[in-house]
Amino acid sequence: MRSLQRLAERTGHVMLVHLGLSPVTVVSSKEAAEEVLRTHDLDCCTRPNLAGPRLISRGYKDIGFTQYSEEWKERRKFLVRELFSLKKVQSSRYIREEECNFMAKKLFESAVDRSTVDLSKTLYWLTASIFFKLAFGHSFHESKFVDQEKIDELVFEAETALASFTCSDFFPVAGVGWLVDLLSGQHKRLKNVFFKLDAMFQHMIDDHLISMLDVIHIQEKDDSLKLTVDHMKGVLTLPDGMTERDIDIEEAGTLTVVKKVPLKLVPVLSSLVTPNSSFRK
């Protein structure tokens, strides 16, 4: 990143570089980023075709990694209607209140015990538990088939695998990049993460198969979008805490949203972390 910064100081805030055989446009100023992300959003909003996201999203059956297209717009419309409509948000208010109260209780207990609290992880599990209860109807903390430590480890594995260098993305010609990824173990790492995520999602779907089939059946009657189990698994990879507005601008990846949440909530919580009386209130 520092190399790109130094290069931008010499060439300007918008520049074209080639990473291997892939041309990449780099913007490095607030004004240029606003032009790309807001003014010319429709021209720049598509996603790159990358090996890691393609595998994790089951061939781009999700929302966050999928390239901009008519099918993407249909999926977005479906997701907004099923999860982010005003009626759905209002009806799930009690879930948000319950999970926030549960978090406040845990923070109070930690304050009484004078134990260390990882606020980043605490807020991550808050958004995850809200989404889980909204999707599956029962508490994340009482679930028999969800191990928080294993999911935390799996999220870290997925983030590491997706963020690591995949040679086939930058040297796609004649299978050279694919061979390098095979020898370096990148293919194996991505597939291991994929199979772990798939097993977890399949368990969730099997536990709620009838209600999901009803949603798929209604969707086929109303719209041209044909949903499959892979689409449902793709939706489950939607970042925790994402809103209708975020669907337009976020690159996805759970931790992208998780990193935004503490920045918004920590100042509010900072008045709660010291005096025990504040927790009781």
Q: How do residues 225-261 score in pLDDT, each as one tens digit?
A: 677 777 777 766 654 444 444 434 333 333 333 333 3
Residue 239 DSSP one-character state = P
DSSP string, 163-188: HS--HHHH--GGGHHHHHHHHHTHHH
pLDDT-derived band at 175 (thresholds 50, 70, 90) equals confident
Q: What is the pLDDT of residue 143?
A: 66
pLDDT in tens, 84-105: 778 877 888 888 888 899 999 9
Question: CA 248, CA 50: separation in Å to the nearest integer?
Answer: 19
- Give the model confidence (pLDDT) of 8-38 as tens digits: 888 888 888 888 888 888 888 888 888 888 8
pLDDT at site 210? 66
CA separation for the pair 163, 252 (Å, rounded): 12
What tokens were used for 239? 């970042």
> In terms of Cα–Cα distance, which of 18, 19, 36 is closest to 27?
36
pLDDT band, residue 275 (cuts 50/70/90): very low
- Residue 254 and residue 236 in contact, taking contact as beta carbons nearer than 8 Å: no
Domain 48-280 has CATH 3.90.1170.50: no
Distance of alpha carbon 64 from alpha carbon 36, whole angstroms: 18
Scanning the structure block, which residue is given the tokens 């050279």?
A: 176
Residue 155 has pLDDT above 80, yes or no: no
CA 97 to chain centroid: 22
Q: Which of 271, 142, 261, 136 is nearest to 209 (CA)?
A: 136
pLDDT of residue 262: 33
* Residues 126-142, mean pLDDT to the nearest whole number: 74
pLDDT in tens, 46-79: 778 888 888 888 888 877 788 788 888 888 887 7
Look at residues 250, 244, 224 and name the one whose alpha carbon lies nearest to residue 70: 224
Who wins on pLDDT, 86 or 146? 86
Q: What is the mean pLDDT of residues 185-210?
A: 81
Q: Is 65 exposed, middle or buried (0-12, 13-18, 19+ CB in 10 A)?
A: buried
pLDDT band for position 108 (cuts 50, 70, 90): very high
Nearest to 145 by CA among 136, 153, 158: 136
193 with 157: CB under 8 angstroms?
A: yes
Q: Where in the chain is the domain with CATH 1.10.630.10?
A: 48-280
